[in-house]
Amino acid sequence: MKRTGLVVIAIFAVAAVFYYLALAAAQDIAKSQQIEPQPVREADISGVLPKPLPAECVEGETKKCMLDNGCAGEIICYGTRWSDCVAKRVCRPGRVAPCALNSCDFGLRTCNECGNGWSECTYPGE
């Protein structure tokens, strides 16, 4: 009976060490893949006409739209006017975060270029 208890403790110790190493590796990879901020450039918008929006709308109505960078967005009706096209972000583009592959293994996932979703969870280095 004492031997069984030692085996259980050893299994928990190995699992804890594996979790610590996986988390440390994920943080190291995340730090090495940080994106440098890009300088803001002024765009030449002379001669560019705004995209026409529907004239009337119902309060709270939404429509899908496309941002200039190719990312999907949404316009929302406030009163009788449409808002600008806005993207819903769930993460910072390029951010790498740890994730669970299954109940025992951990991996990494990356935020997509639009900031509206994560990549599939994969083992570090794949």
**43/56 Cα distance (integer angstroms):** 30
Residue 111, pLDDT > 50, answer yes
In this prediction, residue 77 carries a pLDDT of 92
**43/114 Cα distance (integer angstroms):** 20
Which residue bears the tokens 């639009």?
114
The rounded mean pLDDT for the chain is: 75
In this prediction, residue 49 carries a pLDDT of 47
In this prediction, residue 69 carries a pLDDT of 86
**123/26 Cα distance (integer angstroms):** 9
Mean pLDDT of 31-37: 53
Contacts (Cβ under 8 Å, ≥6 apart) of 58:
77
**69/58 Cα distance (integer angstroms):** 28
In this prediction, residue 41 carries a pLDDT of 52
pLDDT tens profile 45-96: 455 545 555 557 889 899 999 988 889 899 999 888 899 998 888 999 999 9
